[in-house]
A and B are shown apart, each in its own frame.
Chain A
Amino acid sequence: MKQTLRYDQLSCRLQVEGLPDVSAGQPDDAVGIITSWTLDWAGRPQLEGRKEHLVALMQVVMPYARHRISGVARRFGDASQPVDIGPAEAGEGHLLMLRSSQSDTPPLQIGLDDAELSDLVRVLDLLRMDPRLQLPLAIPVSRPLKLRDVLERTPLPQRLAAPLGGALVLALATAFALMLPQPKRLQTQPTSPAPSAQPQAPGGQVPGARP
């Protein structure tokens, strides 16, 4: 029995069709095998594909949203993958690039604003957390970012300002210290020997002293 899962947001609608995996004992309303999916955008071409394409979309969009919530804008996916997403080069927004497996089909670029990205993330969240979808999807889980990733959100000049400033101050302090004249060595003047009560033994040796 074919099942249809549908998730709606203002700018997009995700529809997933599939069948329960009867061999795994899934109930009739479950989806254990995805046969097809479609993503309808308001005023944009419809996206459709197989399970692999949906997983590829989720594999780049979910980590991208995870980084965006921390204020880190970096690209996910590359030319070898069917989907990639990154910040738009000109101005605000995001650029979703979809590559067809057919060689004669050019890649499709979709520009999204922040609201459309949020809508997309919400429909993908609804799908992956739907208890009716009884299918493991290889999607990276959200984890805290490492320091290296977090530093990316700070512009390079701002990041380098503190260490460069410190190095400059150290260099100036060293140069200043080297320019200071060295203190003159104190010359010890010979002092007249104090008059002693005992006459010194001949040869300058103290009587009774052992060699």
Chain B
Amino acid sequence: MPHDSPSLEISLRLPRRGIERLDLLLLSVEALDLNGGEAMVWMSEQMGFTDRFPNRVELWKSRCHNPLRRTTRRGELAAADGDALIRILCALADRLYPVLRGLLSQAEAPEVLVQRWALFQSRLSELVKERMNPRRGGVQKYLNPETCVAECRQLVQSLALASGAGGFERLKASLLDAGS
């Protein structure tokens, strides 16, 4: 995973919506991979972020800056912690790329695609129910079966485009969007 990002060398603090989206993308990784939580800790160690996230609790605490969570944390997520989370996410998306591709490909048999999406959506909605505040509008759209389809597709597409060599640069710029 390359660590150079020529366009966004300066670490910028993620806005509120950016943190929400980053946490939702990490949650999507957990929905795609049953051991996603463990994989995150392992990837953090592999990428040399043990000084930032020495254990799973610290990793979880940094994710709790998401205001949509049931147990949200006050204060702002440090820019370096945000960068580390994005790098971990991109590396996990790269590892899960065959699964993401399988969901996005139209070449797959339609009935297989339907089953894959149903499984992903049910896992994601379970995780969202468990960890997020269901009274928030940003959470309800993942629990509503009508709006969930489009939102889940956008999450999977974002993960696919965040994987690979230039994924970090692209995803970070996206999380820093104005008004997001």
A118 touches B160 (CB 8 A): yes
Chain B residues contacting A116 (CB-CB under 8 Å) are 105
When A10-B101, A65-B161, A126-B164 are in contact, do A141 and B169 touch as well, CB less than 8 Å? yes
When A66-B173, A118-B161, A141-B7 are in contact, do A151 and B179 touch as well, CB less than 8 Å? yes
A121 touches B105 (CB 8 A): no
When A121-B161, A128-B166, A146-B178 are in contact, do A115 and B7 touch as well, CB less than 8 Å? no
Q: Does B6 contact A (CB under 8 A)?
A: yes
A129 touches B166 (CB 8 A): yes
SS of B interface (majority): helix
A118 touches B179 (CB 8 A): no
Bound Cα distance A125, B163 (Å) = 10
Bound Cα distance A71, B116 (Å) = 22
Most chain A CB within 10 A, of B171, B172, B173, is at B173
Nearest-neighbor residue (CB-CB) of B94 within chain A: A122
A7: min CB distance to chain B, Å = 10
B165 touches A115 (CB 8 A): no
When A10-B101, A69-B170 are in contact, do A145 and B178 touch as well, CB less than 8 Å? yes
Bound Cα distance A72, B95 (Å) = 25
Cβ 8 A contact of B165, one of A68, A118, A125: A125
Q: Does B147 contact A (CB under 8 A)?
A: no
A65 touches B170 (CB 8 A): yes
B178 touches A150 (CB 8 A): yes
B170 touches A118 (CB 8 A): no
When A113-B105, A150-B177, A150-B180 are in contact, do A125 and B167 touch as well, CB less than 8 Å? yes
Q: Does B143 contact A (CB under 8 A)?
A: no
Chain A residues contacting B104 (CB-CB under 8 Å) are 113-115, 118
Bound Cα distance A70, B17 (Å) = 12
B165 touches A129 (CB 8 A): yes
Chain B residues contacting A119 (CB-CB under 8 Å) are 101
Cβ 8 A contact of A114, one of B157, B163, B164: B157
When A69-B171, A144-B176 are in contact, do A121 and B164 touch as well, CB less than 8 Å? yes
Chain B residues contacting A114 (CB-CB under 8 Å) are 104-105, 157, 160
Chain B residues contacting A118 (CB-CB under 8 Å) are 97, 100-101, 104, 157, 160-161, 163
Q: Mark A98-130, 1 if CB is under 8 A from B, else 0.
A: 000000000000000111101101100110110
In order of increasing CB-CB distance, the 6 nearest A-B pairs are A141-B7, A125-B166, A115-B105, A114-B104, A144-B176, A142-B173
